[in-house]
Amino acid sequence: MKRIERVRLYPTAGQRRRLNFALDVTRQLFNALLQQRRDAWRMRRYSVSTKEQYRELTALRAEDARVAAVYRECQDAVLHRLDLAFAAFFRRIKQGETPGYPRFRGHLRWGQLEFPHGDRALKFNAEQTKVKIPGIGLVSLRKGRRVPTFGRAWLVRRGTHWFACFECERDVAPLPRTGKSIGIDRGVHVLAATSEGRLIGNPRFLARARLLIERFQRAVSRKRRGGKNRRKAVRLLARAYERIKEARRDFLHKAARKIVNASDAIVLEALNLRSMTRSAKGTMETPGRNVRAKAGLNRALLDSSFGLLRQMIVEKAVEAARTVVEVDPRYSSQECARCANVAAESRRERRYVCIGCGFRVHADVNAALVIRGRAELRPAARGASLEDLTDPRSVPDAGAELARCDQEVAA
């Protein structure tokens, strides 16, 4: 399996200037390549190929010392990145989505230097306290676990910090079997509820830092555009957002690790996050309703990072030889985990009281039990829609005993 090892870099002032110089050259190269393809098609209806631009890049390096000062593989990666952008553009057109033509990149929208053959370009010293970067020199690293054999690598600028990322091959290390499978229900009030009755609270890092963020935003708005003080205020605002992001990632890493360690199989909802966080503004002809409330809900959903939690659970499960199953999430919050009765009236805020059998439990725990039960119904490891009455998984009695919770959960 592949795993990304990220290491903090500590470049000197001169090395920072050279790194920023390489970013500027690669960004301008990306914009020039995009402009060439755009003009050739608009003026002559001619599609410039990758091979043509590769040959022109070789000629440009022989003529322009500024371009030649940057490592060649970084520039080849820029051309590959442009190819990927156009491939995604044409794919979206074929699928009937918003095309999203590749855009020119400004200074704040370009912060990565890629090395497709990183093992040839980046060299560690024996102690792995420094890494040699072509055109930059020996850059100090943050001490920590050793980076194993790697292939592709890239350098990333986040605010005022620099990081080196290495794509490594790791062997699967199976964890001891627990003989348990759990369902996970993700939500805003409770980040994750398990079918065993465990609740993982939602820290809401962005909401907790709202007052600080607003103060930094007001400081930016009061500064003159293009001024030195405005740039300082922007850096402070970016650093505040970066701290929120790192705190959220750290929390989700720990939560995902506990979930994976506790069970052999993890069952999740197959959520469509793009649809869930879609804006409710509407159009001039058909304006949306409750736009302000929906915007607040979208903000809370994005702050919870359901997608990142799922990604971390899957990555850690693959490394530990665990199984991850996704099921249909429809009506999971209204269905009873004991009798399979579906009724919106059974859910009362954070409590679930079934109007059919009287089953009482925390609403999110009930949803987690339903999610686990859908994965255990036949055929195994598949979800079923409640409307599909011809599917044996939709029969209320099929596998109902597997979804019953323990006495301590029901208490």
Using one digit for the tens of pLDDT, what is the confidence trace for 5-45?
A: 999 999 999 999 999 999 999 999 999 999 999 999 999 99
What pLDDT shows up at residue 80? 96
| The pLDDT of residue 384 | 41
- The pTM for the full model equals 0.81
Of 264, 292, 324, the last residue of a domain is 324
The pLDDT tens digits of the residues spanning 83-114 come to: 999 999 999 999 999 899 999 999 889 999 99
**What is the phi-psi region of residue 28: left when phi exceeds 0, alpha when psi lies from -120 to 50, beta otherwise?**
alpha
Q: Which of 324, 358, 389 is the last residue of a domain?
A: 324
Lowest mean pLDDT across 247-251, 265-269, 407-411: 407-411
Q: Is residue 205 one of the residues assigned to a domain?
A: yes
- Domain co-membership, 288 together with 155: no
Regarding whether 190 and 129 lie in a shared domain, the answer is: no
| Domain assignment of residue 372, yes or no | yes
User: Is residue 177, in this structure, part of any structural domain at all?
Assistant: no
Same-domain pairing of 383 and 242: no
Residues 315 and 332 in one domain: no
Contacts of 167 (CB under 8 A, 6+ apart): 2, 3, 4, 118, 150, 151, 152, 153
In this structure, are 159 and 228 located in the same domain? no
pLDDT one-digit tens code per residue, 309-326? 999 999 999 989 899 999
Q: In the predicted model, what is the mean pLDDT of the chain?
A: 87
Whether 309 and 335 map to the same domain: the answer is: no
Pairing of strands 130-133, 150-158: unpaired
* pLDDT tens digits, 316-369: 999 898 999 999 888 888 899 888 888 888 988 889 999 888 889 999 999 999
The answer to whether residue 178 sits within a structural domain is: no
Same domain, 394 and 277: no
Based on the domain organization, do 127 and 226 belong to the same domain? no
Residue type, 209: A
pLDDT at 378: 55
pLDDT of residue 381: 40
Residue 160 has pLDDT above 60, yes or no: yes
Decide if 346 is inside a domain.
yes
Give the range of the structural domain holding residue 107, as residue numbers without chain letter: 2-169
Q: Find the mean pLDDT for residues 169-183.
A: 88
Q: Residue 184: what pLDDT?
A: 93
Residues 215 and 258 in one domain: yes
Radius of gyration of the chain, Cα coordinates, nearest whole angstrom: 26
Predicted pLDDT at 405: 38
pLDDT value at residue 143 = 80
Ordered DSSP codes for 78-136: HHHHHHHHHHHHHHHHHTTS---------GGG--EEEETTHHHH-EE-TTSSEEEETTT
Are 363 and 290 members of one domain? no
Amino acid 391: pLDDT: 42
Q: Is the residue at 100 inside a domain?
A: yes
Domain boundary among 278, 304, 324: 324
Tokens 């804006």 sit on residue: 279
Residue 335 DSSP one-character state: B
Give me the percent of the chain exceeding a pLDDT of 70: 91
Is the per-residue pLDDT at 259 higher than 50?
yes
* Nearest in space to 113 (alpha carbons), one of 27, 51, 35: 27
| 243 within some domain | yes
Residue 174 is assigned to a structural domain of this protein: no
Residues 261 and 160 in one domain: no
pLDDT at 390: 42
Residue 245 confidence (pLDDT): 92
Q: What is the pLDDT of residues 285-296, one digit of tens each?
A: 777 888 888 888
- 310 and 338 in a common domain: no
Number of structural domains found in the chain: 3
